Structure 1
Amino acid sequence: MGSKDAGGEVDYVQQLEASSVEKDNNEFVIDPALEKKTMRKVDRRILPIFLLLQLCAFIDRINIGNARIQGLEADLNMKGNDWNIVLFLFFIPYILLEAPSNVLLKRLRPSLFLPIICCGWSLVTTLQGVTASFAGLVVCRVLIGVFEAGLFPAQIYIMSTYYRRKELQWRVSFLFCGAIISGAFSGLLAYAIAHLDGVRGYSGWRWIFILEGIASFLIGILAFFLVPDWPDRAKFLNEEERNVVLQRVADDRKGATMSQWTKGTAKRIFGDVKIYLGIGMYMGIVVTSYAGSFFIPTILRQLGWTSIKAQVMSIPVWIFGMTCAFTSSFVADYLNHRFGIVLAGGLLTSIGYIILLNMHSVAVGVRYFAVFCCLGGGFVVQPTIIAWLSNNVSGSYKSGISSGMQLGFGNIGGIIASNIYLNSQAPEYPLGFGLGLGMVWFCIICATAFFFLIWRENRIRNAGGRDDRYSLPEEELNNLGDDHPTFRFTY
């Protein structure tokens, strides 16, 4: 039986980790054919529904950018920086609640937590379509931030209990494709929904919120039946298959577990420089991703295209981003190397920003190419750094809290992105493009520091420099997470 917390609830993740250690000690032998069959089964169950949830979340988060060019600001009498305020306030709960959300996930279990939050944000998205004031829109955006905060940290955490470290990135990128597809799909939907302008007395932008919110709610209902629980309780696997999943993860961790919460646990988590560098990397690159999501339709419209054409012309940009994300992820997993991928993506994004900062010196086609560079490079880097941090922390508590901290505090970049593209600076946006470029290089600097930190630590461990930890009491030794002397970091 699993351990129970003070409230009497079973801590499924602690049980999973303990089960993994127990099976590791018993030297459970994995049949390769069964392993291949099991992991295909896991992929078929987890990835499609996780992708759909990401697609819905991202559409409901960014469709406000499409609604803007359909007249939202005029209808709600928004003036000055009201638009930036609406975008900014979404991120307050989104940032503050991402890390704590994984604690709630452990209490509720995935098959309840993810569907509930999806139904929540989709209902609020629909309500945006009937709001009559700027204040009403602000309330809706804050509530969407509350519900969406827990999605991505939970997905990363759940997948880390099913997959080995080197298997994680392309699956993270697969989820990012939900965001990328939704970027393209949102533009396509907005193009179609724009023709509903005036139907039943509603403006086209209202129909964007109403129809997309209803679609997300239906996916949320479906998720109650499709989202799996932790591997040791996954009903879609038989006992032998569950053992395979648990043992693979145990082998990959090499004894680096962290299933008990102590003062030492807190110190090892919150005192780990790797987590803060991971936050810095994510914060730096997410500025580009959110800026693209919120402002691409506006930027493209200011290249001289109509609103509808700007929506359509944004679709190839998102398709290119998806191609970049998938290609780079397969390369990173094949090479088991991520630092070089981050540098390459950062360089591509930098090229795009430099062109946009000099837009009056280049033709419209070159500016359009620059948008491809910015978003394509951003979607190379973003899933890579998420997988990279996740690969280099271990233990149920540390994995859950680190992913929440990286995605939560890293989304401060979203606040930055929502406040640097000012109407008064259109169409040049010198602050937006300039600060965007600076944040990309902040990401690269953090990635470089991260690389040299783990490279140095591996050298110390290979030379036996951490072997003194073997003399610790067994209970403490088995609760070190990635501080365990057998753990090796991946570059």
Structure 2
Amino acid sequence: MTTVVVGTIAFSILVDFPETATFITDQERAFIAWTKSVDNMAVGEEEHLETRHVIAVLSDWQIWMQIVLYWCICAPLNGITLFLPSIISSFGYDTAISQLLTVPPYICASKWQRLRYEFPIVTFTTAIGLVVFALWSDHIKMRSPFIFAGLLISLVGFAINISDAPIGVKYFGTFFCVTGSYAAFPGVVAWLGNNLAGQYKRAIGMALQMGLGNMNGILASNLYLSSEAPRYIRGHGLEIMFLCVGLTVLPFVVSLYRHVNGRRAEEVEKGVVNHSEEQLRHMGDRSPHFRYML
């Protein structure tokens, strides 16, 4: 209900473009316009939705590859999020303690002291990982290394949990599962947005990514069967499969981006690009002047 109310209010108060914003000065508006003019992502900023935008999205290889990556990150993320209480419960604790252990361990009441010292927990690991990954990624203007790192971290966690390790070690492993998945998720969404030019192609492409990508919840909600407790070999095994696919697809996508960037740079350097401004605007991220973020 809150989402509906906030969305309705936002629809009426959010502005579409700097040109229509009434709360900034003319000088600020001019600065924003200049910033957009030198921004790689500003190529193809059309003002009207056309059928060709939908066709451009459906025929763009990168969108489908990014959807695969989205699945490989979100299936483990949704799986561990939905079933973490069940997984922890299989360690031998009752429902109340299992639920408690799914939240950051900041409760220090005396009755929980044994739990605090039984497990080697790093408090707020997930939040720290998200902030560090986001800031560092923006600083070096790269997404793929941090998505790759998140997949690896998550893989370590699921590998620990599918093993026959002690309970304390497995619980510690769940922090890797959650941290890696949550740290990689914002990166894969931002990455596609960075590599789509033209506001309507970007909007349609990201909507398709998240629309089809979030269908992984259908699978994730059926990964862990109570009959397979406590090791959940099938559930953890499928999560590991998704992560391994992601770790394989990611370098392939990067190599394709790198190849296209190199080919475009060579075309521009040789002076074989002779498109008009109108053609370049319509090409969007297919423009020879556009460079994919790695």
Structure 2-normalised TM-score? 0.83
Task: Determine the C-alpha separation between the residues in 2 that align with 1:441 and 1:462.
Answer: 32
Q: Report if aligned partners of 2:36, 2:42 keep a CA contact under 8 Å in 1.
A: no
Which residue is equivalent to 1:301?
89
Residues 1:470 and 2:274 aligned together: yes
Higher helix share: 1
Which residue is equivalent to 2:111?
none
Q: Report if aligned partners of 1:343, 1:444 keep a CA contact under 8 Å in 2.
A: yes
Q: Report if aligned partners of 1:352, 1:370 keep a CA contact under 8 Å in 2.
A: yes
Pairing of 1:272-421 with structure 2 (within 5 A): 272-316=60-104, 319-358=124-163, 361-421=164-224
Q: Report if aligned partners of 1:320, 1:376 keep a CA contact under 8 Å in 2.
A: yes
Task: Determine the C-alpha separation between the residues in 2 that align with 1:289 and 1:346.
Answer: 10
TM-align CA RMSD:
2.6
Q: What runs of 5+ residues in structure 1 fail to find an aligned partner? A: 1-116, 121-216
Q: Deviations over 1:59-102 (max 9, x none)?
A: xxxxxxxxxxxxxxxxxxxxxxxxxxxxxxxxxxxxxxxxxxxx
> How far 1:469 sits from its partner (Å)?
5.0
Task: Determine the C-alpha separation between the residues in 2 that align with 1:267 and 1:225.
Answer: 26
Q: Deviations over 1:2-49 (max 9, x none)?
A: xxxxxxxxxxxxxxxxxxxxxxxxxxxxxxxxxxxxxxxxxxxxxxxx
> How far 1:235 sits from its partner (Å)?
4.0
The 1:456–1:366 alpha-carbon spacing in structure 2 relative to 1, beyond 3 Å, is same
Task: Determine the C-alpha separation between the residues in 2 that align with 1:437 and 1:408.
Answer: 23
Q: How many pairs were matched up?
A: 274
Q: Report if aligned partners of 2:147, 2:184 keep a CA contact under 8 Å in 1.
A: yes
Which residue is equivalent to 1:25?
none
Q: Deviations over 1:167-204 (max 9, x none)?
A: xxxxxxxxxxxxxxxxxxxxxxxxxxxxxxxxxxxxxx
Instruction: Report the secondary structure of 1:294's partner residue.
Output: helix
Q: Report if aligned partners of 2:75, 2:239 keep a CA contact under 8 Å in 1.
A: yes
Q: What runs of 5+ residues in structure 2 fail to find an aligned partner? A: 106-122
**1:458 aligned to 229, 249, 261, which one?**
261
Which residue is equivalent to 1:202?
none
Which residue is equivalent to 2:31?
244
Give the aligned residue type for 2:39: D
Greater RCO (Cα-Cα under 8 Å, separation 6 or more): 2
> How far 1:296 sits from its partner (Å)?
1.3
Give the aligned residue type for 2:250: A
Pairing of 1:89-104 with structure 2 (within 5 A): none
> How far 1:255 sits from its partner (Å)?
5.8
The 1:230–1:356 alpha-carbon spacing in structure 2 relative to 1, beyond 3 Å, is same
> How far 1:239 sits from its partner (Å)?
3.5
Q: Which region of structure 1 is more displaced relative to structure 2, 321-330 or 236-245?
A: 236-245
> How far 1:468 sits from its partner (Å)?
4.7
Q: Report if aligned partners of 2:54, 2:204 keep a CA contact under 8 Å in 1.
A: no
Q: Report if aligned partners of 1:265, 1:480 keep a CA contact under 8 Å in 2.
A: no
> How far 1:292 sits from its partner (Å)?
2.3
The 1:229–1:264 alpha-carbon spacing in structure 2 relative to 1, beyond 3 Å, is closer
> How far 1:392 sits from its partner (Å)?
1.0
Task: Determine the C-alpha separation between the residues in 2 that align with 1:222 and 1:405.
Answer: 22
Which residue is equivalent to 2:118?
none
Which residue is equivalent to 2:245?
442
Q: Report if aligned partners of 1:461, 1:467 keep a CA contact under 8 Å in 2.
A: no
Task: Determine the C-alpha separation between the residues in 2 that align with 1:296 and 1:487.
Answer: 43
Task: Determine the C-alpha separation between the residues in 2 that align with 1:224 and 1:412.
Answer: 26
